[in-house]
Amino acid sequence: MKKNWLTVATILAAAAGRAAGASCPPTPVYQACDLVFELNDAEAAAHPNPYVSVAMHAEFRSPRLRTFMMPAFWDGGRRLVIRFTGVEAGDWQFRVSGNIERLSGEQGTITVTDSDTPGFVEPRNVHHWSYTERLTPHLWMGDTCYQCMTVPDETFRRIVDARATQKFNHIRFLLLGWTETAARVFPAPDRIDPTHFQRVDERIRYMNAKGIVGDVILGADEDHLARLFPRWQDRERYIRYVVSRYAPFNITWQGVQEFEEYEDGRGLLKRMGELIKAGDPFNHPRSTHTVATSAPLLGDGWMNYLVYQSSDVALGAVERQLFAVPSVNTEFGYEDSGAGRTHAHHVDADGFRKRLWNASMNGQYPTFGNTGTYGGKKIAPDAKFVDSPGARTMTAWYDFFAETRHWELEPYFDVDGGRAVALEDVEYIVYLENPGPVEVVTTKRSYAVKWVNPATGEVVKEKKDFKGERFAGEPPNRSHDWVLHLEREGHKQSRARSYKFESRRILKQEVETNPKDVPFEIAAPEGDALSMAQAARFAAKLTRETRASKKMLWLWTVEVHTDQQGFRVLGSGQEGDFRISRGTAKRFPATMHLRLHGLNGVGKLYALDRIYQLTQ
């Protein structure tokens, strides 16, 4: 093993009175190391608030001559840290630059050693995930613990240890906690309490060591981040600080909590997202939390996956056909574990399980929530709730999908009696929320037939394989929901030995927008004017009734293009009532575009638009 070394120039400089060069011991690949620097008396006097005034960074060059740049962050007192993670084994050269003259120009080497880590998480194969090393598929299964960075150490470790044992591999959290905690971390926009971030460092390291990725939410809801940092330069300083401190860890970025509740959520996140994208050399996945879907921001170019807070089947199903990025549903439902319910989406274990599997049939990766541990504003996390029925259901979900080619599954529509995802010619997975007869059109092959209890993972395998093109059957009983799994076991095993990550191209369909070819029309709202002060009726009318159109899923959205806030979801269903949400428009009267998507029973997507004048 090679030892760390300093260049001759650095050694001579140190001998002439400069600080000894910062170094790291040999460090495994994908593990962060810290280069630590101390300001001397004169430098400390010149920089009484290093968070604001010190600008220092190091350029790292890999054995393959790739260059990464990481800024220094202030870590309290006179301590500056440049944190770095090597993504390939070998000797990485670094050189320090910045406005601390004594340190600028320091050079050295970090020896990065081999390890068996699969690397960081990244989007792959259009709608799915992999690790960066060896194209290893990543089956995202998350948990929610908003207060995980602020709860007592014992509570934190009990929750994380339990989630790791239950096979969760993501935990999302508020970096600054809720608003009262954030105000203590930042007593002023240009003043920070570094002890909070030191605790966060320790906890993310602990999660990563357990195989858990940290999903970092940078600010709470209700315009929190904009109020905490009223000036853009304060927000920019915060983002640069956070990126320099946490990008070297195994994380994802999840923007702010419910961006629609911000006065200018889209504008704020666009600038934040661009800073993260430019400053994070590891290119960790980027999105934001939402009240429904983060898709309105996708066109701004900084996001590379979608986040949902919705159990609406139509929303997930339609957007799956529209957007070529992975999707994570963080709040399709929270399990009421006995700690109490504070929101409508807090449901019992059966309701949670059904929402979980419907989200899965939309191709969404799930994030769990438990009312006893998720750490909302009204219920403090309590580790006694970690072993809940919902958590066991999540483990059963993981065990099931880990045995599939989950990174190639897509929604499948040639099914009656359930909802499905499939890798055609290989395996078909059908969820029967209401157990009864089911029919599935398949490629003509021989398939093993398995029925899975989604609550426990228990498998009932039929004695005879199915061979043909149309499977018809019923679950073992009708006492609960079931999952039907048709698979070519031998064929899957041969594919698993193949070097190819994916076996087929996933094509994005063209949406049919020609009114002559769309089998429905917008019947309501009538007229050409709407008011935000009044509820309105929406309705679609089928103009051509077919077997496919009778199974249509509907999604209604509105957008005021001139205000650049992106679209907002009105609702789903063929008809109903809606009220246009605050933030859809800023100036009135406004020209509003209403769009209706319809996804028919065979997966064909249609869209119609209508323009209205919107008043307050």
What is the domain partition of the chain in residue ranges? 8-113, 140-401, 408-496, 520-615
pLDDT of residue 15: 32
Distant-in-sequence, close-in-space partners of 506: CB < 8 Å, separation ≥ 6: 125, 126, 127, 324, 410
**Span 490-513, pLDDT tens digits:** 777 666 656 578 888 887 889 999
Give the strand pairing for 365-368 and 327-329.
parallel
**Span 307-338, pLDDT tens digits:** 999 999 999 999 999 999 999 999 999 999 88
Hunting for tokens 């390890």 — which residue is that?
115
The average confidence (pLDDT) of the chain is 93
CB 524 within 8 A of CB 537: yes
CA distances from 305 to 121, 181, 333, 355 (A): 12, 29, 20, 21
b vs e for 260-293, b when ≥16 Cβ sit within 10 Å of the residue's Cβ? Answer: bbbebbbebbbbbbebbbebbbbebbbbbbbbbb
The amino acid that residue 369 corresponds to is G
pLDDT of residue 497: 59
> What would be the CATH architecture of the domain defined by 140-401?
Alpha-Beta Barrel (3.20)
Separation of alpha carbons 95 and 73, rounded Å: 16
Q: Which fold has domain 8-113?
A: Immunoglobulin-like (2.60.40)
Separation of alpha carbons 407 and 416, rounded Å: 24
pLDDT of residue 19: 37
**Span 457-466, pLDDT tens digits:** 999 999 999 9
The CATH number, out of the four listed (1.10.150, 2.60.40, 1.10.1040, 1.10.1660), of the domain defined by the range 408-496: 2.60.40
The amino acid that residue 616 corresponds to is Q
- CA 301, 304, 306: angle at the middle one, nearest 5? 110
pLDDT of residue 10: 33
Instruction: Extract the residue ranges of the chain whose pLDDT is less than 70.
Output: 1-21, 493-499
408-496 matches 520-615 in fold: yes
Global pTM?
A: 0.93
pLDDT of residue 499: 57
pLDDT of residue 498: 64
Cis peptide before 476 (omega within 30 of 0): no
pLDDT of residue 534: 87
The CATH number, out of the four listed (3.30.1330, 2.60.40, 2.40.50, 1.20.120), of the domain defined by the range 520-615: 2.60.40
The H or E element spanning position 542 is strand 536-542
Q: Beta-carbon neighbour count of residue 233 at 10 Å?
A: 11
User: Using CA of residue 201, residue 203, residue 206, residue 207, what is the dihedral sign?
Assistant: negative
